[in-house]
A and B are shown apart, each in its own frame.
Chain A
Amino acid sequence: MRKLRSTVFALAALGMAPWSVAAQSQFGDADAQPAPFNPQMSALMNMLIQPRHAKLGLAGSADNWPLAAYALKELRQGFAVAARAVPRWKGLPVPDLFEAAVAQPMATLDAAIKLKYRRQFDEGYEHLTAGCNACHGTTDNAFIVIKAPEASAFPNQDFAPKQ
Chain B
Amino acid sequence: MKVRSVLGRITALAAIIGLVATTAWAGGSGFGDDDDNTQEDGPSYFGFVRDTNGVTVPDAKVTVSLKNRVNFVTRTDALGTYKVPGFGKEVDTNEVEVSCAKDGYRQIRATRRSSASTDPKIPIETECTLQHM
Interface residues of B (CB under 8 A from A): 3-4, 6-7, 10, 13-14, 17-18, 21, 25, 28-35, 37, 39, 44, 46, 48, 56, 77-81, 83, 119, 121-123, 125
Contact = CB atoms under 8 A, between A and B. Distances in A.
A21 B31 CA distance: 23
B30 A10 contact: no
Interface of A: 6-7, 9-10, 13-14, 17, 20-21, 24, 28-29, 32, 35-44, 88-93, 96-97, 100-101, 130-131, 134-135, 137-138
Nearest to A40: B32
Contacts of B48: 96, 100
A138 B29 contact: no
A32 B29 CA distance: 12
B34 A35 contact: no
Contacts of B37: 90-91
Nearest to A96: B48
B123 A37 contact: no
Contacts of A39: 30-32
A29 B29 CA distance: 12
A92 B46 contact: yes
Given A17-B13, A91-B44, A100 B32 contact: no
Given A39-B31, A100-B81, 8 more contacts: A9-B3, A9-B7, A20-B14, A24-B17, A90-B37, A93-B125, A134-B77, A138-B83
A37 B30 contact: yes
25 contacts: A10-B3, A24-B17, A24-B21, A28-B21, A28-B25, A28-B29, A38-B29, A39-B30, A39-B32, A40-B33, A40-B34, A41-B32, A43-B31, A89-B34, A90-B35, A90-B121, A91-B39, A91-B122, A92-B46, A92-B123, A100-B56, A137-B78, A137-B79, A138-B77, A138-B79
